[in-house]
């Protein structure tokens, strides 16, 4: 973010532009002057916390306290831009009178850096500083230009509801998450809406609009727009975890932000940050508000989470019921579907692809792909479709090695308009694949998020459904493919799988994992 008059910049505008939108942090009492970003850490760094000259009182030295856990490395108050704390792999406990939450513990799996550890914020970043993980508490929402909204409920559910209703903001569908082992949280991804007005006079022109989200009235310098984000082509890039906790009888709202400055960077940063988020331990005397006590976070209609990672030697058995895709690298975060009977399994679930196999159909079943694209194959065919479902279906219909039914318009799932075709390998098809078990094998589509091409061997049949989903500014395509070993088996598979196809509900907002 650009420098805001109401806070001290944590990076120069030039540095911000170099990472698209690496958001600057808010000021706290007696903040340091801004400095350029540090170079990446080197393997020769000491395996201790370095806070600069220990003679400076801002860092302080802490005598052991009941809040410090055995085996945890004390991380004293005072990490800053001037005096960053370089963290080697290990478990750290926040210490000092003005620490963010004295006694809070995290574990970093490899070298990270903290450029803020004070009452208003705790921030850690990977060695290359491409984004950061922020810890905040008791935030007050602000308007797009930084005016306080003290009447907004600042609990976890209140903050989520406010973000969802904020016209300056777009969000993913909220879902249940967990910090540490047992801290219930609501998580969602946030960005700037097309309708947002610019709230920051220093917002770079290429972003069009920068909007404030929230501030810490007790610790951040007044007069600015608080923590702010900027509009991007792929708007969703700030991941938030919001949790209700209580210290003694005093309630607090803990907010953790994962901000890489852009949607593609978020995908990478989340993979690095996940071990840290899983390691969070609240200070002694502070406990999470359990689900029964908290306001129910938006759910997926009691859907069971199908986390990514199914496949290979570990397929996921599916009981009858409704499922929602999620996990670290899901096929499509937030897609819902229903399994109608016992015996189904997920034989593959990873970024861009999901395989669901009904009982009795070995090696065949329902295969879903996110953002399918045409594959040129051995003929090196041109793949310049118009990027729509109808365009991809038309390209397949023209494929010289495929026998394709006439494209038809139909509806699947929750009112999803789709184009469908039935496909098999043409009798005179050619192939140069030495591993093909039949006369010809033809690859023709694949998810742009995954390297596996989807194709057919001669004698196999597939019913394809292509649907345009998402919004005009974030258009995606869903491919639902019923694969079978023969024409007769495709008829039987369609009957068994139709309830699954009819149950599909895409997410309201499609997140770029």
- Per the CB < 8 A criterion, the answer to whether 361 and 484 are in contact is yes
Query: Higher pLDDT residue, 462 or 1?
Result: 462
DSSP sequence for 319-355: -SEEEEEESSS-SSTT-EEEE-STTEEEEEEETTEEE
Query: Mapped to the 3 state alphabet, what secondary structure does 45-103 carry?
Result: CCCCCECCCCCCCCCCCCCCCCCCCCCCEEEECCCCCCCCEEECCEEEEEECCCCCCCC
Q: What percentage of the chain has pLDDT greater than the value 90?
A: 55
Confidence grade of residue 472 (pLDDT, cut at 50, 70, 90): low
Token reading at 235 = 């708007």
pTM of the model: 0.52
**pLDDT reading at 65 higher than 70:** no
The arithmetic mean of pLDDT across residues 287-309, rounded, is 65
Give the whole-angstrom CA distance, residue 316 versus residue 122: 38
pLDDT for the residue numbered 39:
28
pLDDT for the residue numbered 511:
58
Give the whole-angstrom CA distance, residue 76 versus residue 112: 15
**pLDDT reading at 227 higher than 60:** yes
Confidence grade of residue 507 (pLDDT, cut at 50, 70, 90): confident
Confidence grade of residue 3 (pLDDT, cut at 50, 70, 90): very low
pLDDT for the residue numbered 62:
40
The arithmetic mean of pLDDT across residues 6-13, rounded, is 28
Domain ranges of the chain: 13-40+68-288, 304-502
Pair type for strands 90-95 and 85-87: unpaired
Give the whole-angstrom CA distance, residue 333 versus residue 172: 9
Q: Which residue has the tokens 């009798």?
A: 427
Confidence grade of residue 492 (pLDDT, cut at 50, 70, 90): very high
pLDDT for the residue numbered 18:
29
pLDDT for the residue numbered 510:
59
**pLDDT reading at 9 higher than 70:** no
pLDDT for the residue numbered 364:
93
Secondary structure class of 484 (helix, strand, coil): strand
pLDDT for the residue numbered 19:
31
Backbone angles phi and psi of 452, in degrees to 5: -75, 125
**What's the pLDDT tens digit per position in 135-149?**
999 999 999 999 999
Give the whole-angstrom CA distance, residue 298 versus residue 188: 10
Confidence grade of residue 277 (pLDDT, cut at 50, 70, 90): very high
Which of 12-21, 164-173, 386-395, 448-457 comes out lowest in average pLDDT?
Answer: 12-21
pLDDT for the residue numbered 101:
97
The arithmetic mean of pLDDT across residues 342-371, rounded, is 92
């Amino acid at each position: 973010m650009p420098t805001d008059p109401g806070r001290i910049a944590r990076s120069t505008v030039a540095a911000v532009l170099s990472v698209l939108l690496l958001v600057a942090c808010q000021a706290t009492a007696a903040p340091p002057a801004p400095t350029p970003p540090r170079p990446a850490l080197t393997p020769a760094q000491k395996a201790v916390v370095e806070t600069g000259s220990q003679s400076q009182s801002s860092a302080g030295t802490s005598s052991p306290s009941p809040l410090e856990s055995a085996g945890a490395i004390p991380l004293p108050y005072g990490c800053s831009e001037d005096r960053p704390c370089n963290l080697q792999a290990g478990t750290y406990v926040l210490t000092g009178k003005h620490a963010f939450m004295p006694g809070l513990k995290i574990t970093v799996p490899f070298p990270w850096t903290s450029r803020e550890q004070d009452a208003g914020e705790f921030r850690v970043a990977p060695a290359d500083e491409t984004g950061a993980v922020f810890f905040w508490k008791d935030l007050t929402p602000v308007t797009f230009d930084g005016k306080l909204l003290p009447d907004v409920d600042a609990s976890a559910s209140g903050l989520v509801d406010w973000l969802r209703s904020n016209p300056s903001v777009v969000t993913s569908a909220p879902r249940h998450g967990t910090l540490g082992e047992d801290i219930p949280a609501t998580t969602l991804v946030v960005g700037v809406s097309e309708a947002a007005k610019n709230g920051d006079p220093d917002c770079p022109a290429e972003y069009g609009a920068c909007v404030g989200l929230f501030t810490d009235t007790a610790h951040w310098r007044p007069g600015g727009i608080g923590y702010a984000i900027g509009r991007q082509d792929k708007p969703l890039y700030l991941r938030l975890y919001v949790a209700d906790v209580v210290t003694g009888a005093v309630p607090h709202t803990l907010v953790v932000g994962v901000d890489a400055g852009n949607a593609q960077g978020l995908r990478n940063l989340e993979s690095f940050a996940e071990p840290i988020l899983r390691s969070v331990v609240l200070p002694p005397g502070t406990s999470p508000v359990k689900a029964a006590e908290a306001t129910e976070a938006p759910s997926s209609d009691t859907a069971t989470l199908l986390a990514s990672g199914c496949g290979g030697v570990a397929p996921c058995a599916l009981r009858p019921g409704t499922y929602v895709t999620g996990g670290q690298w899901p096929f499509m975060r937030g897609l819902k579907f229903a399994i109608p009977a016992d015996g189904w399994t997920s034989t593959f679930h990873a970024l861009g692809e999901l395989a669901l196999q009904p009982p009795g159909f070995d090696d065949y079943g329902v295969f879903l792909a996110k953002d399918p694209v045409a594959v040129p194959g051995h003929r090196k065919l041109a793949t310049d479709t118009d990027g729509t479902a109808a365009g991809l279906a038309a390209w397949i219909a023209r494929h010289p090695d495929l026998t394709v039914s006439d494209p038809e318009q139909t509806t699947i799932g929750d009112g999803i308009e789709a184009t469908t075709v039935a496909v098999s390998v043409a009798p005179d098809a050619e192939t140069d694949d030495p591993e093909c078990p039949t006369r010809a094998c033809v690859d023709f589509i694949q998810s742009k998020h995954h390297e596996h091409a989807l194709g057919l061997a001669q004698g196999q049949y597939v019913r394809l459904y292509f649907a345009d989903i998402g919004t005009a500014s974030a258009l995606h395509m869903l491919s639902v493919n019923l694969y079978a070993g023969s024409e007769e088996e495709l008829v039987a598979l369609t009957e068994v799988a139709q309830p699954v196809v009819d149950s599909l509900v895409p997410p309201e907002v499609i997140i770029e994992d």
